[in-house]
């Protein structure tokens, strides 16, 4: 009985690493990044800084009824909040929504 040695599959060589075209050393690039002025983020809008309209004002600016606006608020189609007295304050950004924009007066 002859013993035949099985040949193992050849291993492929890993691909050579590509050189980047940047001629700036890493340390110099890091120094440039840290020297750039930092951008400050604008303050987040709070309830007192967001422009909002009362329910009656919003109804006058659109062809919606008070009941329609309330229904859209509950459905989430409009964004707004109720103040301490329970009156709805509708965010002005709703006037830019496509389904409200076409209803503007």
Which pLDDT score is estimated for 11? Answer: 65
Answer yes or no: is 71 within a domain: yes
What pLDDT does 100 receive? 82
Q: What is the pLDDT of residue 81?
A: 94
Per-residue pLDDT at 104: 75
pLDDT of residue 98: 83
- The pLDDT score that the predictor gives to residue 58 is 92
User: Into how many domains does the chain fold?
Assistant: 1
In a domain, residue 91? The reply is yes
**Domain that residue 65 falls in:** 52-101
- Confirm whether 45 is domain-assigned: no
In a domain, residue 60? The reply is: yes
Q: In which residue ranges of the chain is pLDDT below 70?
A: 1-49
The pTM for the full model equals 0.51
Residue 69 lies in a domain: yes
Asked if residue 72 is part of any domain, the answer here is: yes
Measured between alpha carbons, how far is 55 from 6 in angstroms, rounded to an integer?
84
Tell me, yes or no, whether 84 lies in a domain. Answer: yes
């Amino acid at each position: 009985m002859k013993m035949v040695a099985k040949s193992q599959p050849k291993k492929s060589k890993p691909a050579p690493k590509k050189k980047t075209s940047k001629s700036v050393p890493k340390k110099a690039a890091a120094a440039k990044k840290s020297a750039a002025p930092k951008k400050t983020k604008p303050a987040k809008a709070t309830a007192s800084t967001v422009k909002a309209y009362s329910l009656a004002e919003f109804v006058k600016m659109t062809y919606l009824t008070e009941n329609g606006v309330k229904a859209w608020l509950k459905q989430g189609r409009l964004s707004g909040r109720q103040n301490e007295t329970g009156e709805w304050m509708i965010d002005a950004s709703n006037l830019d929504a496509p389904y409200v924009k076409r209803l503007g007066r």
